[in-house]
Amino acid sequence: RPGRPAAPGRGGRRAQSALAQLTRIVEAQLAAIRGAGTWKGERILTSKQGPHVRVQGSAGGILNFCANNYLGLSSHPEVIQAGLKALEQFGAGLSSVRFICGTQTIHKALEEKIARFHQRDDAILYPSCFDANAGLFEALLSPEDAVLSDELNHASIIDGIRLCRASKYRYRHLDMGDLEAKLQEAQKHRLRLVATDGAFSMDGDIAPLREICQLAQKYQAVVFVDECHATGFLGPSGRGTDELLGVMDQVTIINSTLGKALGGAAGGYTTGPRELIALLRQRARPYLFSNSLPPAVVGCASKALDLLMESDAIAQSMAAKTRQFRSKMEAAGFTISGKEHPICPVMLGDARLASVMAEDMLERGIFVIGFSYPVVPKGRARIRVQISAVHSEEDIDRCVKAFVEVGKRHGAIP
């Protein structure tokens, strides 16, 4: 009859059946995540990023201790102004990949500035460092080659390595004996690439780059370092862990981000030998098939680098506040992983405890996040605290006081 929907045909019924099956599978997985206490909710900010933020559903201002805003440049007035200027002069975006019509003078200038900052030949920009890691290994390594990776490397390094066809070796975290054994085993390959984070984002520990470079020289390997949690603030002038440990001339390839200390917007990059960068422009799929970085992002990152190269005062302020937090938390009875890094993981072990304590901290006006499996290994749950140069000493003390109150309430400390 007119107006009556037709009964679904055989194809429609099959589609509905497949959708129902998919829904059941997904619902079971979601229930398992909730049941394990590892559900990751998203707290919604209603303000700019900074040490003091406003969170939807929470009254008043909140102290933020969970951003990668190490130098406090995400909302720096000069960085914002540089972004506005680039937006006005170069537009909202390019609507193109780089090799078609997506390269502007500001992209080339930023790449040159990054290479100069790291004291390397050249650099190439990506939408994120995840993309930089996704593009590097597949473009560089063949089935004749080998890549040797720290077992706790960032997920983007792991995923990037999965995309390449090289033989894959995983060595125990920071274990130089195991790395040497793997290098000996990999001598049969044409090229050996050792891949490590400079600073590990979940534990706040730093790769032993001196020893890695010594082994690389002994076994004729190339060293790659991801510096996302080091660029801008580790080392005497903020060049990263290779500068901190005095091996800038021995690390061949660096990947890093513009989305943390350098303005916090977006973007990543690879910097290294000129020939390698030229190869990546020809072969790196995330570069070839992703739109260019928006001009405002480029402008912000460029100004952040300018501020960093003008003075190390911001980085020194962050280091002093990191020492303040770590010493006071350890004195209160907490175990803090890592050493002298603004990533300060408060180790708790139990996933539910980390989640509940983080919620109680928010009720006290402190924004921190609990991390648990699969982000970190089972039994290694923690609340990761991140210190910024724009936190005041009073902010640090207030955070420590809240941790002590919450820790005692839940039995995390005596």
Q: Is the pTM of this model over 0.85?
A: yes
Candidates 76, 118, 260, 391; catalytic one: 260
Picking from 15-24, 112-121, 239-248, which range would have the lowest pLDDT averaged per residue?
15-24
The whole-number pLDDT of residue 57 equals: 87
Q: What is the pLDDT of residues 308-344, one digit of tens each?
A: 999 888 888 899 999 999 999 999 999 999 988 999 9
- Assigned fold of 77-310: Aspartate Aminotransferase; domain 2 (3.40.640)
The sheet with strand 343-349 has its strands ordered as: 343-349, 381-386, 369-371
Residue with tokens 């050996």: 192
93 pLDDT higher than 90: yes
Boundaries of every domain in the chain: 38-67+313-410, 77-310
What's the rounded Cα separation, in Å, for the pair 212 and 179?
Answer: 8
8: confidence class by pLDDT, cuts 50, 70, 90: low
**CA 369 to chain CA mean position, Å:** 15
Q: Label residue 296 left, alpha or beta by phi (over 0 means left) and psi (-120 to 50 means alpha).
A: alpha
The whole-number pLDDT of residue 7 equals: 58
Candidates 128, 149, 156, 201; catalytic one: 201
Q: What is the pLDDT of residues 51-80, one digit of tens each?
A: 999 999 888 889 999 999 999 999 999 999
Picking from 19-28, 31-40, 164-173, which range would have the lowest pLDDT averaged per residue?
31-40
The whole-number pLDDT of residue 142 equals: 98
What's the rounded Cα separation, in Å, for the pair 199 and 144?
Answer: 29
Q: What is the pLDDT of residues 359-395, one digit of tens each?
A: 999 999 999 999 988 788 889 999 999 999 999 999 9
DSSP 96-111: SBHHHH---HHHHHHH
38-67+313-410 CATH, one of 1.10.287.130, 3.30.360.10, 3.90.1150.10, 1.20.1070.10:
3.90.1150.10
For 91-185, where are the alpha helices, taking DSSP H only?
Answer: 98-101, 105-118, 129-140, 155-163, 176-185
Candidates 76, 107, 229, 303; catalytic one: 229
Question: What are the φ/ψ torsions at residue 150 (nearest 5 degrees)?
Answer: -60, 140
Q: What is the pLDDT of residues 166-222, one digit of tens each?
A: 999 999 999 999 999 999 999 999 999 999 999 999 889 999 999 999 999 999 999
The whole-number pLDDT of residue 14 equals: 75
Q: Cα angle vertex 311, ends 296, 198, to 5°?
A: 75
What's the rounded Cα separation, in Å, for the pair 122 and 112?
Answer: 6
147 pLDDT higher than 60: yes
* 201 flagged as catalytic: yes
